[in-house]
Amino acid sequence: MNESDQKPIIILEDVCKFFGDFQALRNINFQVKKGERVVVCGPSGSGKSTMIRCINRLEEHDSGRIFVDGRELTNAVKDIDAVRREIGMVFQSFNLFPHLTVINNLMLALKLVRKAKKSEAREIAMRFLERVHIPEQADKWPSQLSGGQQQRVAIARALCMNPEVMLFDEPTSALDPEMISEVLDVMTDLANEGMTMIVITHEMGFARSIADSIVFMDYGEIVESNPPEEFFQNPRFDRTKLFLEQIL
Amino acid sequence: MTFDIYLIFNSIPKMLAGIGVTLQLLFLSSFLGLVLGIIILLMRISGRWYLSFPTFVYIYFFRGTPILVQIFVIYHGLPQFEAIRDSVFWPILREPFGCAILALTLNSGAYVSEILRGGYLGVDKGLHEAGKALGLSTPHRFIYVTTPIAVRLAIPAYSNDFISMLKATSLASTITLLDMTGAARTIVAKTFAPYEIFIAAAIIYLVMTWFIQRGFGLFERRMSRYIKQWGVI
């Protein structure tokens, strides 16, 4: 890797977030370099989701600073839209637009945000549907697809905006077991192509095979952050050990 | 007392003389009420108190008083103010038709804004987030994501309101308008057969309601074609 690749694309400095009296994030310091694949894990309610939602400002942090590709997240609407264009996000519940066909789900933001012409948008959309192996579903409604197919459409929808970073918020947690691998396969392909990814998941086999580092969170804090071998073989904290015992 | 079934059928064509006024009242005030309802909704969900507070007062007032009272206040009350008589609205407010439209529109706007608000609140929060994450601006999310779904959710309640409006138009007959009910009352005055004549009027309203129901049913089906249980086109 050359020098510029080493520069972090995402920086969180002392980020805190409250929901009422509840502190969801406690002084989070976290960096992701370009091309890095980070898996975030931890018990439910530990702040993983809140943390990545702060990165594209679906949640607003209360203190600390967040930078995405050199741009600080503030209240300026223009900056937020610009940052969101750089970041793709995949949700646990897919969140496909139910009133649009699969291809139109992909084309909507291409037309409105990227200002692509209809034919151009369609071409890009088809290319990404092929990448997630479901071009034949292009003209169906989301409700006609299986969960795994819907999630792959959601991934394609995020990818066709050509993001610098992809955020995955428990992408396989809502899926039937037999559909998990088809989604993980797509994500593995993506990782192998060098996409910068932050993935919240409980799929530890997947984490082990693709992650450059694994971040463990508990009670709104980052407890530890290590490469996979280190993380699984020599967890440093009791909280991490306990968590690993429970899920492995 | 005798019951004359032929009188019912014979009076229906005469009563249809009033159907034009009824339909004008219905469609014009529903359309204006829809436009008003959308404006009120946007003000209400704007998150700015100086926009949302007036809508709260407006909705409270028009939902909380009978339409008949509103019609009377507008028809008998407004002309007492010189400012109204001198204003550009006077040519409209001078006529009973204009007063009826105004009252029905204001009433419909209050209800429609609440119906649409119900639709908007029913749209899954995750879809807003998906739109945001894709970089869609607030107006784009509102137009392309929220509205089509909210409209579908609002159709059953809206069709209910539309049918209520059809019946509310009959109140216009109290301020001299010859809508269908007005026409019926004129015929009653001539025939002294209120029973048969009002049954005839009821039949016409029922037929109109049937067409409205059917129309909204088809519209709902069309708007719901993406939902599994409605079948696939």
* For residue A53, pLDDT beyond 80: yes
pLDDT in tens, A64-86: 999 998 888 888 777 888 899 89
CB contacts of A108 in chain B (<8 Å) are 134, 136, 144
CA distance A221 to A194: 28
Q: What is the per-residue burial (b if ≥16 Cβ within 10 Å, else e) of B39-64?
A: ebbebbbeeeeeeeeebeebbeebee
Q: What is the DSSP letter of B95?
A: S
Contacts of B45 (CB under 8 A, 6+ apart): B52, B117, B120
Q: What is the DSSP letter of A201?
A: -
Q: Do B134 and A56 touch (CB under 8 A)?
A: no
Cross-chain Cβ contact B134/A58 below 8 Å: no
Per-residue model confidence (pLDDT) at position B232: 45
CB B217 within 8 A of CB B49: no
Shortest CA distance from A156: residue in chain B: B134
Residue A236 one-letter amino acid: R
Q: Say whether A58 and B129 touch across the interface (CB within 8 A).
A: yes
Give the pairing of strands A8-19 and A63-68: antiparallel
DSSP string over B9-52: HHHHHHHGGGHHHHHHHHHHHHHHHHHHHHHHHHHHTSS-HHHH
Closest-CA residue in chain A for B223?
A99
Per-residue pLDDT of chain B in tens (233 residues, 90 and over written 9): 577 788 888 888 888 888 999 999 999 999 999 999 999 999 998 888 999 999 999 999 999 999 999 999 999 888 788 888 888 888 888 889 999 999 999 999 999 999 999 999 999 999 999 999 999 988 999 999 999 999 999 999 999 999 999 999 999 999 989 888 998 898 888 888 888 889 889 999 999 999 999 999 999 998 888 887 655 44
Q: What value of ipTM does the predicted structure carry?
A: 0.90
**Tokens linked to A38:** 């980070």
Mean pLDDT, chain A, rounded, equals 91
Best of B123, B134, B136 to disrupt the A interface by mutation (most A CBs within 10 Å)?
A: B134
Classify the phi-psi angles of A191: left when phi > 0, otherwise alpha if psi is within -120 to 50, otherwise beta: alpha
Chain B residues contacting A via beta carbons under 8 Å: 124, 126-127, 129-137, 140, 144-145, 148-149, 152, 225-228, 232
